[in-house]
A and B are shown apart, each in its own frame.
Chain A
Amino acid sequence: MDKELEKDFLEMIDAHERVIYKVCYFSAKNHDELDDLFQETVLNLWKSFPNFRGDSKVTTWIYRIALNTCINFNSQRSTHDRLLTVPLTTEEVGNLAADDDRDSLFQELHESIDRLNEKERQLILLWLEDMSYQTMADILGTTTNNIGVKLNHIRHKLRKM
């Protein structure tokens, strides 16, 4: 195994683990699924890492891989295998699952976003992260104009709930 590549990857994960975790946190239905999704996302990042040439910002690349992993994960919900039998996260993160207040807020959030389709959920996550229209467009491979139109549509959709 290429030790230099592994070292670079570990440094990249160190710098961006919070972003990766948040995408998974937003997409997972519960804490067990969150562990699976996080592991699969990090694995996909590792597999794609040798091909990342820095043509786009590293965060754009991370979001693209993570969002695609979440889509695939949701469409194959019962068929993914885990390489690790233990969580990839630290014990401190694992303790979050036992927090009832947090769990209740998590459920409330999901009651709203679960009514959106997959593409709408992706866009909303980026908006919740205070990204510019240009950054959202770069990640989702669309135009800023389209981002505005879609956000407006989501705004109306959520108001009806």
Chain B
Amino acid sequence: MKLEDLKNKWKTLDKQLPEGKIVNRQALRDLIRKSAEEDADSLSLPEPGVEEHTGDGELLGDGG
């Protein structure tokens, strides 16, 4: 196949894309909100009494 034939196919597909809006604005707002919620969850502090580890067996200290 020639590159130019590929371009013709791509242009035909491109022309068939909807002229109007592509993104559902409400769904986009929901996506942003859920992403923020997910980020907040991942940053939340551990429950009291739960030991926090660095992953290499040492407890977090004051660096001294």
Interface size (A, Cβ < 8 Å)?
A: 44
- Among candidates B13, B21, B31, residue contacting A43 with C-beta atoms closer than 8 Å: B31
User: Do most interface residues of chain A lie in helix, strand or loop, or is the interface mixed?
Assistant: helix
- Among candidates A90, A105, A128, residue contacting B23 with C-beta atoms closer than 8 Å: A90
CB-CB under 8 A from B38, the residues of chain A are 83
- Give min CB distance, B39 to chain A, whole Å: 9
CB-CB under 8 A from B23, the residues of chain A are 13-14, 17, 42, 88-90
Interface size (B, Cβ < 8 Å)?
A: 31
CB 8 Å contact bits of B7-50 with A (1 = contact, 0 = none): 10111111011101111110111111111101000000000000
CB-CB under 8 A from B17, the residues of chain A are 18, 21-22, 25, 93, 96
Number of A-B contacts (CB under 8 A): 102
Q: Is the CB of A88 within 8 A of B3?
A: no
- Give min CB distance, B11 to chain A, whole Å: 8
Q: Is the CB of B3 within 8 A of A93?
A: no
Whether a CB of chain B sits under 8 angstroms from the CB of A159 is yes
Q: Is the CB of B22 within 8 A of A158?
A: no
CB-CB under 8 A from A39, the residues of chain B are 31
CB 8 Å contact bits of A92-120 with B (1 = contact, 0 = none): 11001001001001101100110000000
Q: Is the CB of B1 within 8 A of A112?
A: yes
- Give min CB distance, B60 to chain A, whole Å: 27
Chain B: CB-nearest residue to A158: B1
A108 to B9 CA separation, bound complex (whole angstroms): 8
Whether A93 touches B22, Cβ cut-off 8 Å, given contacts A88-B27, A88-B31, A109-B13, is: yes
Q: Name 15 interchain pairs, CB-CB below 8 A, sorted by A.
A: A13-B28, A17-B21, A17-B22, A18-B22, A39-B31, A42-B31, A43-B31, A46-B35, A84-B34, A87-B27, A88-B23, A90-B22, A96-B17, A106-B13, A128-B10
